[in-house]
Amino acid sequence: MQVARLHGAGDLRLHEEPIPTPGPGESLVRVTAVGVCGSDLHWFSESGIGDARLVKPLVLGHETAGVTESGQRVAVDPAIPCGVCEPCRQGNPNLCEHLQFSGHGADDGSLRQYINWPTRCLYPLPDALTDADGVLLEPLGVALFAVDLGHVKPGMTVGVFGCGPIGLLVLQVARAAGAAHIIATDKLAHRLEAAQRFGAEDLKAGDGDEAAEVLKATGGRGVDVAFEAAGVNEAVDVAFETVRPGGRVVLAGIPADDRTSFKASTARRKGLTIKLVRRMKHTYPRAIRLVERGLVDVRSLATHRFPLSEAAQAFSTAQKREGIKIIIEP
């Protein structure tokens, strides 16, 4: 089978490797679609992400759909929690102390034609969902978890700062949760256009005046919940400046330098609750229902498709922030 392995920054190579044999509790999955995530771009550009570094040629890819040997189309949950550590027993598998995660560290991901994966981590796809839809259930799960952490309630005003795939999905989930007024910011016009399609009413380009414009759009009150999904401190600053006193700031972006900063006096004076998003938990069934019932549109986010043989070009396209979600089809 064909496999794409990352050997170093920007060095993605195709290999021929044997089709794996599933072990106990595993299923062999023929991979049909893989999304290129922002975290994959960190690996591709920087040979790592946060404090995790490339220690061997790594197969990237964690947004995955495929077909089992029995012919069942599935979405693949990329996280394999141990189930026995204290965080797992407390109902927080995303915080598992022994978590294995597809395409991260020493754990190979799905940019290959076949994978073995725990059957318990496979979710059947309804006929109404395409394989690309199945790929986008993973970022939708992250967005669902972010909105859960934000405690969005009907009638609230929400700010979404950064309108890549996660930000656009947060926007849609917040709208489905009852947010009455959604303000979105991004530097790219095509992403702001997508935000408008998904229900953002006030769109602000990244021109340095976003905070003042957001406050003006809320009558000076500020947003009830601010979601930062850009991974840059400019967006973090706008989130903290525009959230109301007593509000919540949810940080979902991953900064390139593994540092996030904010003005302590602002956060302290406002008495803010600050939450950081660690992937997701227990979200796949909810994500499937939201897409199946048309409450969230993931399909229009899949703007580019590449075969596995053109994986390097797919990553280059994603680096340039062209389109929204890049899909590789092994």
- The domain spanning residue 211 has which CATH number? 3.40.50.720
Q: Is the dihedral of CA 49, 54, 55, 59 positive or negative?
A: positive
Q: What is the pLDDT of residue 32?
A: 98
- The domain spanning residue 306 has which CATH number? 3.90.180.10
Q: What is the pLDDT of residue 207?
A: 73
The answer to whether 2 touches 308, Cβ cutoff 8 Å, is yes
The answer to whether 87 touches 96, Cβ cutoff 8 Å, is yes
Residue 67 belongs to some domain of the structure:
yes
Residue 23 belongs to some domain of the structure:
yes
Number of domains in the chain: 2
The answer to whether 164 touches 324, Cβ cutoff 8 Å, is yes
Residue 286 belongs to some domain of the structure:
no
CA 182 to chain centre: 20
User: Helices H, strands E: what count in the chain?
Assistant: 10, 19
Specify which residues 38 forms β-bridges with. none
CA 114 to chain centre: 23
Residues 189 and 303 in one domain: no
Residue 281 belongs to some domain of the structure:
no
Q: List per-residue pLDDT tens for the chain, 330 residues long.
A: 999 999 999 999 999 999 999 999 999 999 999 999 999 999 999 999 998 999 999 999 999 999 999 999 999 999 999 999 999 999 999 999 999 999 999 999 999 999 999 999 999 999 999 999 999 999 999 999 999 999 999 999 999 999 999 999 999 999 999 999 999 999 999 999 999 999 998 887 767 789 999 999 999 999 999 999 999 999 999 999 999 999 999 999 999 899 999 999 999 999 999 999 999 999 999 999 999 999 999 999 999 999 999 999 999 999 999 999 999 999
Q: Is residue 228 packed enough to be buried (19+ CB in 10 Å), middle (13-18) or exposed (0-12)?
A: buried
Residue 289 belongs to some domain of the structure:
no
Give the predicted TM-score (pTM) of the model.
0.96
Q: What is the pLDDT of residue 293?
A: 97
Host domain of residue 91? 2-124+298-329
Residues 44 and 145 in one domain: no
C-beta atoms surrounding 187 within 10 Å: 17
First-to-final CA distance of the chain = 10
Residues 107 and 189 in one domain: no
Q: What is the pLDDT of residue 190?
A: 94
Our CA angle for 71, 72, 78, nearest 5°, is 125
**List of long-range contacts for 234-238, beta carbons under 8 Å, 24+ apart:** 234/206, 235/161, 235/162, 235/185, 236/161, 236/260, 236/261, 236/262, 237/211, 237/262, 237/263, 238/159, 238/161, 238/185, 238/210, 238/211, 238/214
Residues 145 and 260 in one domain: yes
> What distance in Å separates the CA atoms of residue 61 and residue 66, rounded to the nearest whole number?
13
Residue 134 belongs to some domain of the structure:
no
